[in-house]
Chains A and B, each alone.
Chain A
């Protein structure tokens, strides 16, 4: 387990203060999130769990600036997300935030390498982007699959390409929404291993939304949402003894 980081480094990467999000449709309104107060420190890995409809994705979308809170304030990496224009938000995401979704939505006509480069073309030179994409794909175990189109990649490989794409531009924050939702148990475990490596080797704050408790255990802290509210939190980063029981004790 890592030693506690010094105070300045543990300043919040994400702050939600009294955040609510209400959707209105046909005269009735549904509260997707209600009065959420949450701090996520820089460098922290947090899993947001909860049943379907508990507000996980809404929370992630608000942090990413893909959706707007009905009330409350959201600060991400020092920037107030609410009250910022769409254009500024897009710019902010491009330079600071990596997004991973359940389906990586890779472009079918491009190779794995080209998928990474194409997403960043507005922000760099082709040659630099290609070098970065090669490095990232190799790091995530896809060094031999650079030229494969998505149709020739397995589900786990496609998701790793999606993760590599999210890491282009060295974001400080990685937001993942059900990243293992389409994967079987073995591939989920493999992706968790990749995320572990990414967490160690990149200086990242990671927020993962998942309904899968096995994925949540990857985090340092688990925040459980129920009915749009924080139902409980659990810290996992404290070292603890491994359960070791001899055969005689069983």
Chain B
């Protein structure tokens, strides 16, 4: 699942809490990140139940207590599995998170993604020959075009990979506000 994979992967860079994880993804992905904070907390609860994270209550003076989350070994495995081979419709989030937590591995991840999508396109084109009647050919074409779009987008990233990895992360708005206060 996208969200638990993304949250686990973000925790690869160290312990954090739900609000910060959500704010980081929102800051990096802008309005394309449509997940609500409540969904993040719910998913983190499930990850805790499944032994992917441990939780520790941290008291705050003026704000509600926070749950500090740390990745377990199982959580680390889940994070690595998601980064290396998560679903193809999560390419954007996978690369966005990889850029933050494992920047040195972004080039190889990108190469793996391109190979995987190239193989997928090859298979889709092979399957198209059997698509006759109904709306089958058109439906297959839609899939083919979608994978082509992903490939063009991924290949485009190769062109400015150095800059992409070096580009500073966007700091969440409340982090900036706290600094000014």
Binding site for B on A (CB under 8 A): 1, 51, 185, 189, 192, 196, 211-214, 216-219, 222, 232, 234, 236, 240, 242-243, 245, 250
Contact = CB atoms under 8 A, between A and B. Distances in A.
B46 interface: no
A185 to B, nearest CB: 7
Contact of A213 (B88, B118, B127, B141): B118
A245 B144 CA distance: 15
B2 to A, nearest CB: 10
Given A240-B123, A243-B88, A250-B89, 15 more contacts: A51-B159, A189-B141, A213-B114, A213-B117, A213-B151, A214-B121, A217-B119, A218-B122, A218-B125, A219-B122, A236-B118, A242-B123, A242-B124, A242-B127, A245-B87
Where chain B touches its partner, the secondary structure class is helix
Nearest to B124: A242
A214 B152 CA distance: 7
29 contacts: A51-B158, A185-B145, A185-B148, A189-B141, A189-B144, A189-B148, A192-B125, A196-B125, A212-B152, A213-B114, A213-B117, A213-B151, A213-B154, A214-B151, A216-B118, A217-B118, A217-B151, A218-B122, A218-B125, A234-B118, A236-B118, A240-B119, A240-B123, A242-B124, A242-B127, A243-B88, A243-B120, A245-B87, A250-B89
A214 B148 contact: yes
A213 B149 CA distance: 10
B119 A232 contact: no
B152 A217 contact: no
Contacts of B155: 211-213
B111 interface: yes
B126 interface: yes
Most B CB within 10 A of own CB, among A196, A217, A218:
A217
A66 B122 CA distance: 31
A234 B115 contact: yes
Given A51-B159, A213-B154, A243-B88, A236 B122 contact: yes
A196 B154 CA distance: 24
Contacts of A196: 125
A223 to B, nearest CB: 12
Contacts of B145: 185, 189
Contacts of B144: 189
A1 B126 CA distance: 8
A71 B118 CA distance: 33
Contacts of B159: 51
Contacts of A185: 145, 148
Contacts of A236: 118-119, 122
Given A1-B126, A196-B125, A218-B125, A234 B151 contact: no
Nearest to A237: B122
Interface in B84-143: 87-89, 111, 114-115, 117-127, 141
> What 7 pairs between A and B have smallest CB-CB spacing?
A217-B121, A213-B151, A214-B148, A236-B122, A217-B122, A217-B118, A213-B155
B34 to A, nearest CB: 15
Nearest to B120: A243
